[in-house]
A and B are shown apart, each in its own frame.
Chain A
Amino acid sequence: MHKYVIKRLIMLIPVVIGVSFLVFFIMSLAPGDTARTILGEDAPIEAIEALNEELGLNDPVLIRYGRYMVGLAHGDLGTSYKSGRSVFTEVMSRFPDTLKLAFWGMVFAVVLSIPIGIISATKQYSLIDSVSMVFALLGVATPNFWLGLMLIIGFSLHLRWFPSGGSEGWKALVLPVITLGTGCMANITRTTRSSMLEVIRQDYIRTAKAKGVGYRSVIYKHALKNALIPVVTVIGLQFGSLLGGAVLTEAVFSWPGVGTYLVNSIKAKDTPAVLGCVIIFSICFSIVNLCVDILYAYIDPRIKSKYK
């Protein structure tokens, strides 16, 4: 089992290399002169040339990438064109705020969605089922930034219960977390429900009943563990959407996280910063998926025995 974990951790390295190459390559397609953007349109040509030379921007793509990779290996994500500081520092200083948002968003989503999904499945076609399915459909269809705006209008501007921006105190966390987590919650609810429905139809559930296992035990002991297997996978995948959604949520609530930094960096054409943000996000996503895979192996003995 430990071998499997270590093997997967090592496999993260080629992924990080691949992602960094992909993103680097995309950014290198950008038209326009970086030095000119930094120094301004009116800067003298010599200054522009000098800066291009200094930043190594005249070298071919692969060489520039090579240099970047060497830096990456040392944990150096380059220097921000805009602020002149280390991208790593810039991103990491904002990372805890984004992580806070993403974490609570996922907790919010999972804690609510799994029970609702179970109840929906066990009381199929009841009122609770219909209502929660309608909400789930709406949750999936609603853009999270619009939900955020609507929540601000209702709870911030009119009811004044929660602030509409900033990140001070737990009150500031409520609306952004709801905004971010709702889409995930809708997806996980639907998955839990359909997975439970599938499992309840299985032969081994009938066997359990024929043994005299009571209803509660059938659902929570026999069915649930089996039903959670696909749900866990979906949770992992949803985390990616969550990270993307965090960018939008931060924009709506002026949340000082990596997402806001990313958007500002894109607008300022601060390539190293953009690269740094995307790479960090990808590493985060990959680690979460790795955790999901490990959890998967724990829940499903068929997978576990493959990796013993």
Chain B
Amino acid sequence: MAEHDTNYTLEIKDLEVRFETVDGVVKAVNGIDLAIEKGKTLGLVGETGAGKTTTALSILRLVPDPPGKITGGSITLEGKDLFSYSEKEMEGIRGSQVSMIFQDPMTSLNPVMTVGDQIAEVIQLHEKIDQKEALKKAMAMLEMVGIPGNRGSEYPHQFSGGMKQRVIIAMALVCNPHLLIADEPTTALDVTIQAQVLDLMQKLREKYGTSMLMITHDLGIVAEVCDNVSIMYAGRIVEHGTLEDIFNSTSHPYTEGLFGSLPNIDNRSEQLKPIPGLMPDPTDLPAGCAFHPRCKYCKDICKSRVPAVTKLSDTHMVACLAYEEGTGVTLGGDGHE
């Protein structure tokens, strides 16, 4: 991977993030590697509490500092080490080179500022133009996300949820960032609006060539918009590959479980197969492979040995003892769908 440095918008290596709380140390992110190629979309998939949002916030260095701390690893944006920047330099990067949009559009906009002002603010922070110009650009951006420009003088409460999310997308993309991080951007929206918003994001991304980190738990969205997928569990990446790799050559038992828990429209009477158990308590992670208490292929060795990353192909990686030599762990007959 090292030779393709300049092809990568984002490279995360061995990231570790801890939270020190009254109830113990929360190991939110435990050594993950992520890479996003220029212009491509990486889907980061996992259940709530897997550490996805924390990873995203780490890129922006917005992990709330007491109690959170980035304790290891490196994040490189367009070849530059983000951890070497001062806070002031980070402020310059946020919103202009990396933008993030969050899950709940209803509460993500400042209720006492007009929508136009909020977009213009981003422009003025990162470009040297006066307020009038910034407002003009803001209105143009609104048009681009499908909102009449003159509505820029209205306040957030005058917009619906879907339109608010469009405003937020406008705010995120107006300065042409290299990377857009989208943290469950459609989860809080109606299904019909979801499709519109995703569509809009795709259009804009293609236009500007923006790379994207799409955080989601919805495999349907992954199939729609992602080029590559990383599956995250308990702060670790358990499988990574292209869309085909993950959907057609599912390798990790957890990924298998995720697909298995989807209802089968062709066989409605078939029982739902949820993954048994719950995500582990991050202050008390299981020893060995973090997934072992819920894994149907679990063997004794899984309880004590942390799986290493096994390369299945140039693009496909998995972290499971079943793929390591000499562990004796097998995935039965149906390890590959």
Contacts and interface: CB of A to CB of B under 8 A. Distances in A.
Interface of A: 202-204, 206-214, 222, 225-226, 299-302, 305
B91 A213 contact: yes
Contacts of B84: none
Contacts of A211: 94-95, 99, 121-122, 125, 171
Contact of A204 (B90, B110, B158): B110
Contacts of A226: 110-112
Given A203-B108, A207-B102, A302 B155 contact: yes
Contact of B107 (A204, A208, A210, A300): A204
Interface string B116-136: 000001100110000000000
A203 B126 contact: no
B102 A305 contact: no
A214 to B, nearest CB: 6
User: A interface, by DSSP: helix, strand, loop or mixed?
Assistant: helix
B93 A210 contact: no
Counting chain B CB atoms within 10 Å of each CB, the highest count among A207, A209, A210, A302 belongs to A210
Contact of B121 (A203, A206, A213, A301): A213
B299 interface: no
A197 to B, nearest CB: 14
B118 to A, nearest CB: 8
Contact of A212 (B93, B108, B168): B93
B104 A203 contact: yes
B95 A210 contact: yes
Contacts of B88: 214
B96 A212 contact: yes
Contacts of A207: 102, 108-110, 168, 171
A119 B56 CA distance: 30
A211 B99 CA distance: 7
Contacts of A299: 112
Given A209-B94, A222-B110, 6 more contacts: A204-B111, A210-B95, A214-B88, A299-B112, A301-B155, A305-B157
A212 B157 contact: no
Nearest to B103: A203
Interface string B41-85: 000000000000000000010100000000000000000000000
Chain B interface size, as a band, is 20 to 34
Nearest to B105: A203
Contact of A301 (B91, B93, B107, B111): B111
A257 B121 CA distance: 51
A215 B187 CA distance: 29
B155 A214 contact: no
Contacts of B93: 212
Contact of B92 (A208, A212, A302, A305): A212
Contacts of A212: 90-96, 122, 125-126
B100 interface: yes
Nearest to A203: B107
27 contacts: A203-B108, A204-B110, A206-B102, A206-B108, A207-B108, A207-B171, A208-B110, A209-B62, A210-B60, A210-B94, A210-B100, A211-B99, A211-B125, A211-B171, A212-B90, A212-B96, A212-B122, A213-B91, A213-B121, A213-B125, A214-B91, A225-B112, A226-B110, A226-B112, A299-B112, A302-B155, A302-B157
A226 B112 CA distance: 7
Nearest to B92: A212
A300 B112 contact: yes
B39 to A, nearest CB: 22
Interface in B164-192: 168, 171
Counting chain A CB atoms within 10 Å of each CB, the highest count among B62, B102, B112 belongs to B112
Contacts of A206: 62, 102, 108
B247 to A, nearest CB: 31
A302 B111 CA distance: 8
A299 B110 CA distance: 13
Contacts of B122: 211-212
B139 to A, nearest CB: 18
Interface string B287-323: 0000000000000000000000000000000000000
Nearest to A226: B112
Nearest to B66: A125
A209 B57 CA distance: 11
Contacts of A208: 110
Q: Top 6 closest A-B pairs, CB basis?
A: A212-B94, A212-B95, A211-B95, A203-B107, A301-B155, A204-B110
A300 B95 CA distance: 26
Nearest to A208: B110
A306 B115 CA distance: 18
A268 to B, nearest CB: 52
Contacts of A225: 112
Nearest to B61: A209
Contacts of A204: 107-111
Nearest to A205: B110
A225 B111 CA distance: 10
A305 B108 CA distance: 20
A208 B125 CA distance: 11
A82 B91 CA distance: 71
Nearest to A304: B155
Contacts of B90: 212
A206 B107 CA distance: 10
Contacts of B168: 207
A306 to B, nearest CB: 10
